[in-house]
Amino acid sequence: MSPRKPDLCPISPPRGMLDNAFFGFKVVAAEVAWRISQSIHAYEIRQLKKRLRLEYQALGEHSFSNTLDRDLEHAEDNPERSVAAAFETVSFLKEEIARLELLWESKRRDMLAARARQWNLRQNDAN
């Protein structure tokens, strides 16, 4: 009699077709929920990038007007559109976009790890 090979999977296989179907529905439902959440966060990042483009546009317009020495007094009267404020806004938006993208990646990793623990899967099976 040959020696028994060790099990590669730490959990027992599904008992039948219904167990397998139920597990598949759980995976699909979790992925649908993830995709909905992902689309909401992607919309938020798109809005921040749109705002960043507007700030770059304001900086370009301000630079153009200063180059031609037009509306210099008007630009100084409006501190919201000053160069310093635009640079601060641009740097803030860049940092916020990078932070949100990193946060989103870590949430995905954490969600997959939690799902693997909850469903007794090996970590590399969840990726």
| Residue whose token pair is 């700030």 | 55
- Evaluated on CA atoms 23, 25, 29, 31, the torsion sign reads positive
Task: For 2-61, write each residue's pLDDT tens digit.
Answer: 555 544 445 555 568 888 888 889 889 999 999 999 999 999 999 999 999 998 888 887
Chain segment 53-110, per-residue pLDDT in tens: 998 888 887 777 665 554 445 555 554 457 777 788 888 999 999 999 999 999 999 9
**Contact, 97 vs 48, CB < 8 A?**
yes
pTM across the whole model: 0.60
Q: What are phi and psi of 10, to 5 degrees?
A: -75, -10
Both tokens of residue 68?
């031609």
